[in-house]
Structure 1
Amino acid sequence: MPWWTWILIWIALIALSLLFYLLLGIQLFRKFMTTVKELGAAGDKLGHLPAPGPAAGTADDDPQAAPGRLPGAAVFASPRQMRHDYHASKASRVEIRRQRRIQRKAERGQPQALRDIELG
């Protein structure tokens, strides 16, 4: 093989590798732009959350929401207050389940459990 064929081979290899890197860069840029576009759409969607207050909803709409509480207020509340709120909501849920159980058994004509009768 003459010496100039090696130069042509190396030029072709370098050109192909540069073309490969160029195509890889274009694909990476397109994926990055798609990601940025989706993040922007998600930011727009989350940026328009309704303001808390009487117009956004009442405590009747969401039984889990405490009245007068803003979303995220637990981050700045004291641990004692959050513990109290947790235990109060837990006791409320237990009482609601007990009332449903009593109602269900009364509708079916089944005898009531002694623990349900003593609490009521």
Structure 2
Amino acid sequence: MPWWSWILLWIALIALSLLFFVVMGVRLFRQFMATVKELGAAGEKLGHLPAPVPEAGTPGEGTSHAAAAPPGAAVFASPHRMRHDYHASKSARREARRQRRIQRKAERGQPQALRDIEFR
């Protein structure tokens, strides 16, 4: 093999490798742009979340500061405030269950449990 054939061989190998890198770069750029486009669409979709619909129930049932707070407000609230809201909503849910249990037993004509009778 003459010496110039080695030069041609190396030039062809380098040209093919450069072509390969260019094609892979274009493909990577297109995938990146598609990803950015999808992220933009997801950001637009999540940027306009609908306002939460209040739950239907009795007016005094389960209403607290936590129900009126916007989503994500707990991140910036004080731990004392969140603990208070948690315990208040927990006791409101417990009282609502007790009231439903009393009403259900009264409708069925069953005797009330001692823990359900109010001593106030």
Provide the TM-score with structure 2 as the length reference.
0.68
Amino acid in structure 1 at the alignment position of 2:54: T
Q: For the aligned residues, what is the CA RMSD?
A: 3.3
The SS at the match of 1:85 is helix
SS of the residue 1:58 aligns to: coil
Q: How far 1:43 sits from its partner (Å)? A: 1.1
Structure 2 residue runs of 5 or longer lacking an equivalent are: none
CA contact (8 A) 1:102 1:112 kept: no
Aligned counterparts of 1:102 and 1:48: Cα–Cα separation in 2:
43
| Mapped partners of 2:75, 2:47: distance in 1 | 20
CA offset digits 1:32-57 (Å, max 9, x no partner): 0110110111011112223x5xxx63
Residue in structure 1 matched with residue 43 of structure 2 by the alignment: 43
Q: Is the 8 A contact 1:74 1:82 kept in 2?
A: yes
Q: Give me the whole-angstrom Cα distance separating, in 2, the residues matched to 1:19 and 1:64.
A: 67
Q: What pairs up with 1:67-82 in 2 under 5 angstroms?
A: 67-82=67-82
* Residue 57 of structure 1 pairs with residue 53 of structure 2: yes
- Deviation at residue 19 of structure 1 after TM alignment: 1.1
TM-fit CA distance, 1:15: 0.9
> What count of residue pairs does the alignment treat as equivalent?
111
AA at the equivalent of 1:22: V
For residue 91 of structure 2, what is the aligned residue in structure 1? Answer: 91
Q: CA deviation at 1:69?
A: 1.6
Question: Is 1:28 aligned to 2:24, yes or no?
Answer: no
Cα distance in 2 for residues equivalent to 1:11 and 1:91: 80
| 1:87/1:3 CA distance change after superposition, 3 Å | same
1:73-104 Cα offsets, whole Å, 9 max, x none, are 22232211110111222333444556667778
Report % sequence identity: 64
Question: Bigger shift: 84-93 or 32-41?
Answer: 84-93
